[in-house]
């Protein structure tokens, strides 16, 4: 059902960071927790809260992907969702989102996509506090550890932890207060509360939630994955409906809370919440060059002419790398092994494949299998095919790799023995 929605609340979900500390090979918000991304999980919490305009701030090259996640999470509220490209800093990203807030909105919440498992109750507490106090509100958790003042390798004092709180998001503000504070902000602030406080406004503290932790490091990602494994997002196709601020629902039950209808199409038989496997495709071409030794399919081929290339020219290995990265949605070989990684300049297949395996694992996948075909006049693969399969498989942590080879009846550049071409497909399964 479509209805005209005029929310008085907007939630900016900032998801434009690169996730440097996570090091998962993709912008953090687009790394998978299960079959869904961090962003999609964050949006689940947002849409389970009160009716609100939702502005997702995404990296410029991920706007389309973010829109897909946002629309899926929004259900009936699709017309309240927009995605805008972010900036170089979190502060710039928030400013970009702020410019998209609808005219009638009175309260703006700013939320880190990286706090993907934040319970909807935290949103409610923040909104209540902004309504009550008229300024802004920040969810905080008590600091558990004893905090020391440290200078170099010396403890120089103790900080009274009863006066400390660890700030989380969503942080909520009266819209005019936040807009004015951003307009006059001078310098970079670590969060919106600091920026608004600097502008001279008082802020309320409300109770945070341990589940609102920020996914920052690989250990945080593991923890989040373990938590969602116990409570996955139901498949699309639930009853939809709007959850009101007081927790009551209209037009059916809450979209995520309701018992899910069967997922349509070929995925219908899938276990609810399980991620489907993903396939990827990769090809590569290298020309024969003068001098050197041939490296192909992870093997050295004495007596055969070498292939030209940035590394050892192993077109088979490079096609496999591209197929794996494509399956994981992590870009291609140029994204990860460009000239900024000189350690791969002369590297062989084992180094490329091991690093690719690490990247796809970090994104939550395991290699199901890989099939690669090489089209080449030479070398003759028949005698060494099993050896090549074993070498490639070893580099991928033991995943099955099949290698086949063919000639092209004398046609084309491979037929004229000017170079080789390889085609690979890869299947990834949820790790
Ligand atoms: N963020 C953003 N735009 C930026 C930087 C950060 O929208 N230019 C968002 C992130 O996507 C994240 C939130 O701000 O949801 C908190 O930032 P952080 O946890 O630091 O994420 P990243 O900056 O992506 O991670 P890192 O600092 O490790 O690179
Ligand atoms: Mg950051």
Q: Write down the pLDDT at residue 4.
A: 57
- Minimum CA distance residue for ligand 1 atom 13: 112
Q: Spell out the residues 6+ positions from residue 229 whose beta carbon is closer than 8 angstroms to its own.
A: 34
Q: To test ligand 1's pocket by mutation, which of 114, 116, 195, 216 has the most ligand atoms within 8 angstroms of CB?
A: 114
Evaluate: CB of 225 within 6 angstroms of ligand 1: no
Kindly tell me the burial class for residue 374, based on how many C-beta atoms sit within 10 Å of its own C-beta (0-12, 13-18, 19 or more). buried
DSSP helix, strand, coil percent of the chain (3-state; round to 5):
35, 25, 40
Q: Which ligand is the nearest neighbour of the Cα of 29? A: 1
Orientation angle between helical segments 120-133 and 38-47, nearest 10 degrees? 50
Evaluate: CB of 57 within 6 angstroms of ligand 1: yes
Q: Write down the pLDDT at residue 1.
A: 46
Q: Tell me the residue length of the chain.
A: 431
- CA-nearest of 220, 216, 5, 243 to 121 is 243
- With residue 422 as reference, give the H or E element that holds it: strand 419-430
Evaluate: CB of 148 within 6 angstroms of ligand 1: no
Q: Are the CB atoms for 316 and 403 separated by under 8 Å? A: yes
Evaluate: CB of 89 within 6 angstroms of ligand 1: yes
Q: Is the pTM of this model over 0.85?
A: no
- CA-nearest of 73, 64, 68, 62 to 28 is 62
Q: Spell out the residues 6+ positions from residue 144 whose beta carbon is closer than 8 angstroms to its own.
A: 161
Q: Write down the pLDDT at residue 162.
A: 83
| CB-side neighbour CA atoms (13 Å) of 28 | 25
- Minimum CA distance residue for ligand 1 atom 8: 89
Q: Tens-of-pLDDT digits for all 431 residues of the chain?
A: 444 568 999 999 999 999 999 999 899 999 999 989 999 999 999 999 889 999 999 999 999 999 999 999 998 889 999 999 999 999 999 999 999 999 999 999 999 999 999 999 999 999 999 999 988 999 999 888 888 999 999 999 888 888 899 999 999 999 999 999 999 998 999 899 999 999 899 999 999 999 999 999 999 999 999 999 877 776 554 333 333 333 333 233 333 333 333 333 333 334 444 568 999 999 999 999 988 889 999 999 999 999 998 788 999 999 999 999 999 988 899 888 877 778 888 789 999 999 999 989 888 889 999 999 999 999 999 999 999 999 999 999 999 999 999 999 999 999 999 999 999 999 999 88
Q: In what order do the strands lie in the sheet with 365-375?
A: 278-287, 419-430, 365-375, 401-406
Q: Which domains are present in the chain?
A: 9-272 (3.90.550.10), 278-430 (3.30.1330.50)
Evaluate: CB of 28 within 6 angstroms of ligand 1: yes
Evaluate: CB of 36 within 6 angstroms of ligand 1: no
Q: Which ligand is the nearest neighbour of the Cα of 59? A: 1
Annotate 145-205 with DSSP letters as a single string: SPEEEEETTEEEEEE-GGG-EEE-S-EEEEHHHHHHHHHH--S--SSHHHHHHHTT--EEE
Q: Write down the pLDDT at residue 273.
A: 45
| CB-side neighbour CA atoms (13 Å) of 132 | 11
Ligand 1 atom closest to the CA of 113, numbered from 1:
15
Q: Write down the pLDDT at residue 274.
A: 53
Q: Write down the pLDDT at residue 229.
A: 85
Evaluate: CB of 15 within 6 angstroms of ligand 1: yes
């Amino acid at each position: 059902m479509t209805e005209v929605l005029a929310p008085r609340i907007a939630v900016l979900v900032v998801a434009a960071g690169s996730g440097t500390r996570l090091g998962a090979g993709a912008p953090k918000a687009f790394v998978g927790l299960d079959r869904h991304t961090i962003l999609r999980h964050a949006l689940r919490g947002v849409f389970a809260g009160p009716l609100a305009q939702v502005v997702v701030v995404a990296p410029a090259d991920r706007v389309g992907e973010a829109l897909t996640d946002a629309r899926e999470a929004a259900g009936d509220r699709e017309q309240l969702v927009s995605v805008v490209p972010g900036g170089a800093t979190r502060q710039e990203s928030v400013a970009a989102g702020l410019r998209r807030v609808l005219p009638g909105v009175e309260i703006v919440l700013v939320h880190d996509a990286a706090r993907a498992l934040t319970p909807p109750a935290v949103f409610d507490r923040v909104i209540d506090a902004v309504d009550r106090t008229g300024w802004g509100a920040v969810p905080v958790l008590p600091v558990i550890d004893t905090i020391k003042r440290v200078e170099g390798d010396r403890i120089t004092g103790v900080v009274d932890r009863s006066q400390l709180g660890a700030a989380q998001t969503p942080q909520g503000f009266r819209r005019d207060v936040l807009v004015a504070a951003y307009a006059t902000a001078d310098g970079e602030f670590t969060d919106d509360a600091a920026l608004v406080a600097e502008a001279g406004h008082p802020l309320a503290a409300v109770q945070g939630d341990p589940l609102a932790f920020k996914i920052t490091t690989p250990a945080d990602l593991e923890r989040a994955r373990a938590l969602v494994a116990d409570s996955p997002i139901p498949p699309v196709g639930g009853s939809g409906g709007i959850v009101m601020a007081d927790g009551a629902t209209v037009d059916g039950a809450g979209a995520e809370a309701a018992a899910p209808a069967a997922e349509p199409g070929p995925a219908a038989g899938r276990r609810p919440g399980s991620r489907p496997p993903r396939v990827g495709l990769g090809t590569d071409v290298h020309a024969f060059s003068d001098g050197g030794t041939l490296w192909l399919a992870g093997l050295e081929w004495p007596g055969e002419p070498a292939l030209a290339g940035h590394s050892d020219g192993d077109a088979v290995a490079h096609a496999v790398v591209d197929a794996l990265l494509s399956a994981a949605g992590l870009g291609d070989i140029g994204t990860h092994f460009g000239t900024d990684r000189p350690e791969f300049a002369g590297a062989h297949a084992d180094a490329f494949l091991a690093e690719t395996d690490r990247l796809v694992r970090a994104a939550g996948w395991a290699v199901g299998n890989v099939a690669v075909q090489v089209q080449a006049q030479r070398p003759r693969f028949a005698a060494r095919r099993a050896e090549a399969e074993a070498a490639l498989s070893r580099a991928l942590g033991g995943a099955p790799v099949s290698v086949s080879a063919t000639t092209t009846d004398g046609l084309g550049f491979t037929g004229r023995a000017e170079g080789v071409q390889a085609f690979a497909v890869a299947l990834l399964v949820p790790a």
